[in-house]
Amino acid sequence: MGSQWGYDKTYIRAKQEGYRSRAAYKLLEIQKKFAIIRPDDNIVDLGAAPGSWLQVERTLTDARVVGIDLNPIAGLEGVETIEGDLNDPEVLEQVKSLIDVASVVLCDAAPKLSGHKSYDQARIIELNEQALSFACKVLKLGGNFAVKSFQGTDFPELYAMTKKHFYSVKTCITRSTRKGSTELYIVAKNFNG
């Protein structure tokens, strides 16, 4: 029977335009609305496989782009990738050896969903907290952060935690998000250290 979502218009468009997944349009929309990436920004992308956000990032900056994922990421020209866990201190050291400081940290990662709403919500919030912690270790002052999350009972706490580290924090539901999904993005600008 295949995917529960099937091949909708956005999926087909992504394949026709050469993107590795529909997620590319989510980043393009976030960028259009919030301008979180500037042409000279070093970017670290957490949970970057299969690489559609890396494809977009490469077109938005002339600086370094580093993608991290537990799974291998097929090569992309002008993009450096690290296969590993964002919680591993060695991965953090690898990132710091590639770029002195990051201007932008992005995370479109999600755990494999079990179908149990409260369990999945807790797992995504834990992943979001790990991404925020990583961002706080590599971002320069004034840097930007965006992370995919899911609406639920634990979300307000994550949102409040993010507000402690950034001057501007907003949420965004992209048009490319599948109907019925509780997915949304936290877009945080101007890291305050």
The proportion of the chain whose per-residue pLDDT surpasses 90, expressed as a percent, equals 72
Place of tokens 């201190």: 89
Q: Tell whether 106 is covered by a domain.
A: yes
Residue 2 has pLDDT above 50, yes or no: no
Structural domain containing residue 157: 9-191
Strand arrangement of the beta sheet that strand 183-191 belongs to: 80-83, 65-69, 43-46, 102-107, 139-150, 183-191, 166-172
Q: Tell whether 30 is covered by a domain.
A: yes
Residue 190 backbone zone (phi > 0: left; psi -120 to 50: alpha; other: beta): left
Contact 91, 85 (CB under 8 A): yes
In this structure, what token pair is assigned to residue 115? Answer: 């179908």
Higher-confidence residue: 142 or 8? Answer: 142
pLDDT at 111 (0 to 100):
82
- How far is Cα 66 from Cα 35, in angstroms, rounded to an integer? 19
pTM, whole model, 2 decimals?
0.91
- Residue 148 annotated as catalytic: yes
| Average of per-residue pLDDT values in the chain | 90
Q: Tell whether 37 is covered by a domain.
A: yes
Q: Tell whether 1 is covered by a domain.
A: no
Q: Tell whether 4 is covered by a domain.
A: no
Contact 169, 163 (CB under 8 A): yes
User: What Å distances lie between residue 154 and 2, 133, 134, 150, CA to CA?
Assistant: 31, 17, 20, 9
Residue 3 has pLDDT above 60, yes or no: no
pLDDT at 1 (0 to 100):
31
Using one digit for the tens of pLDDT, what is the confidence trace for 107-141?
Answer: 999 888 788 888 888 899 999 999 999 999 999 99
Overall average pLDDT of the 159-175 stretch: 95
How confident is residue 183, by pLDDT bands cut at 50, 70 and 90?
confident
pLDDT at 89 (0 to 100):
96
Overall average pLDDT of the 46-70 stretch: 96
Structural domain count of the chain: 1
How confident is residue 180, by pLDDT bands cut at 50, 70 and 90?
low
pLDDT at 9 (0 to 100):
74
Quickly count: other Cβ atoms within 10 Å of residue 90's Cβ.
10
pLDDT at 18 (0 to 100):
64
**Active-site position among 96, 148, 170, 189:** 148
Q: Environment class of residue 174 by beta-carbon count within 10 Å: exposed (0-12), middle (13-18) or buried (19+)?
A: middle
What type of residue sits at position 41? D
Q: Tell whether 2 is covered by a domain.
A: no
pLDDT at 185 (0 to 100):
96
Q: Tell whether 180 is covered by a domain.
A: yes
Using one digit for the tens of pLDDT, what is the confidence trace for 91-110?
Answer: 999 999 999 899 999 999 98
User: Strand 183-191 and strand 139-150: pairing?
Assistant: antiparallel
Overall average pLDDT of the 52-70 stretch: 96
Write the CATH number for 36: 3.40.50.150
In this structure, what token pair is assigned to residue 94? Answer: 């690898």
Three-state DSSP at 83 gives: strand
Q: Tell whether 69 is covered by a domain.
A: yes
What type of residue sits at position 82? I
Using one digit for the tens of pLDDT, what is the confidence trace for 143-161?
Answer: 999 999 988 889 999 999 9
